[in-house]
Amino acid sequence: MRPTVRGAAPRAGIGFIILPMIDVIFLLLLFFVMVTTFEASARVRVDVPDPEDSQARKADLSERLVINCEYVAPAGSKPFDVRYRIGGDPPQSLDDIAARLAAAGKSNPNSVVLIRADRRLPNAPVREVIRLVSETGLQKIDVCAKQDLER
C-alpha cells in the first residue's frame, strides 16, 4: 500500500490567483477615481482661457460659488449661444442666477464668485454675469484660467 501524504491533495487545489484580484482592485480604483472627480468639482466642460505665462494658481473650488458660462456652437443664424449654470446644476436663466446670487450674498456676503467662462465667448455675455454679481452685493470675483504647468 502506497503511503499517502495527508493534505497533499487539497493543497494542490487551493491556489492564490492574483490576477483577478488585480482586475477587481483596478476596477474599484477606476470607479472611485471617476466618482470623486465628478462629485468634488462637479465640473462642466468649459474651455477656459489659456494665457501665456499664466498666473493662475490651484485653488479650492468648494469655497467658491462657481458660475459656468458655456459656449454653445452656432445654430442657424445665431452666431453663438451661451448657457449659464451654477456649479454642476442644470442651465439657468440670468434671472434665476441673480436670485441665487442674491441668496448667497445674504447668507455670506464674503462669498467669492469664480467665473468659468469659455474663451471663445465675447466679453458681453460674461459681463452680464459680472454685473449681476456686483448688483447682488458680492464683492470678490475670481476668474478661471488654465495653469502654466511648467511653473
Partner 1 sequence: MHGLTTHTPARRIDRHARIGEVAHRRSRLRLRGAREGGAVSLNVVPLVDVTFLLMIFFVISGSFDVSEGVLRSGIVPAAGRSGTTALPLTPIVIKITSSVEVPGACSLELAPFGHRPSSFNELRRILSGIRRQPGFDEQAPVAIRADDGVLWEHVVNGWNAALGAGFSNLAYADSAD
Binding site for partner 1 (CB under 8 A): 19-20, 22-23, 26-27, 29-30, 33-34, 37-38, 43, 48-59, 61, 64, 69, 114, 116-124, 126-127, 130-131, 133-135, 137, 139-147, 149
Please state the closest distance from residue 55 (CB atom) to partner 1, in A: 4
Nearer to partner 1, 7 or 39 (CB): 39
Please state the closest distance from residue 21 (CB atom) to partner 1, in A: 10
Please state the closest distance from residue 35 (CB atom) to partner 1, in A: 11
DSSP structural state of residue 92: B
Please state the closest distance from residue 31 (CB atom) to partner 1, in A: 10
Nearer to partner 1, 6 or 58 (CB): 58
Please state the closest distance from residue 70 (CB atom) to partner 1, in A: 12
Nearer to partner 1, 75 or 124 (CB): 124
Question: In this structure, what C-alpha cell is assigned to residue 45?
Answer: 466642460
Nearer to partner 1, 35 or 103 (CB): 35
State the Cα angle at 121 between 146 and 62, rounded to 5°: 45
Q: Are 69 and 121 in contact (CB under 8 A)?
A: yes
Question: In this structure, what C-alpha cell is assigned to residue 87?
Answer: 456649479
Nearer to partner 1, 6 or 85 (CB): 85
Alpha-carbon distance of 72 to 121, in angstroms, equals 9
Question: In this structure, what C-alpha cell is assigned to residue 124?
Answer: 458681453
Q: Taking the C-alpha atoms of 54, 88, 129 and 57 in order, what is their torsion angle to the nearest 10 degrees?
A: -20
DSSP structural state of residue 84: E
Look at residue 120 and give its three-state secondary structure.
Answer: coil
